[in-house]
Amino acid sequence: MLQALRNLLENAWRYTPEEGLVNISATRTETGVEIAISNSGPGISADDLPFIFERFFRADRSRSREQGGAGIGLSIVKELIEAHGGRIGAESGENLTRIWLQLPDRD
């Protein structure tokens, strides 16, 4: 879980402009907890959003692997969250991206 959260925070930080904001929230739900990490800055296009958790997908195709990674970070996060019985999703608009994950209570 630490690896998943670290990856999400690093992504938010990387894509937030110098004067932008990163927000982290955790909310108790009826079945567990929801954690959301959001950042200001350029959003993810509606065309790309459904694919951001796929292995090797990079929304900004102009970036090299040295500048932006291999495109596997969010797919690993998704696998880790789902391995713990959770779900992950994303929302993005013109000036905000929000990645959320829901984890069930441990019995």
CATH number, domain of 12, equals 3.30.565.10
Please count the structural domains in the chain: 1
Over the Cα atoms of the chain, what is R_g?
A: 14
Q: In this model, does residue 62 exceed pLDDT 70?
A: no
Q: Is 60 helix (H, G, I), strand (E, B) or coil?
A: coil
Q: Among the listed ranges 19-28, 72-81, 84-93, which one has the minimum average pLDDT value?
A: 72-81
pLDDT digits (tens, 9 = 90+) for 90-104: 999 989 999 999 999
Give the pair of three-digit tokens for residue 37. Answer: 């990490």
pLDDT digits (tens, 9 = 90+) for 9-51: 999 999 999 999 999 999 999 999 999 999 999 899 999 999 9
Give the phi and the psi of residue 48 in degrees, each rounded to 5. -85, -25
Range of the domain at 39: 2-104
- Residues 107 and 100: their CA atoms lie apart, in Å, by 22
Residue 65 is predicted with a pLDDT of 40
Quote the pTM value.
0.82
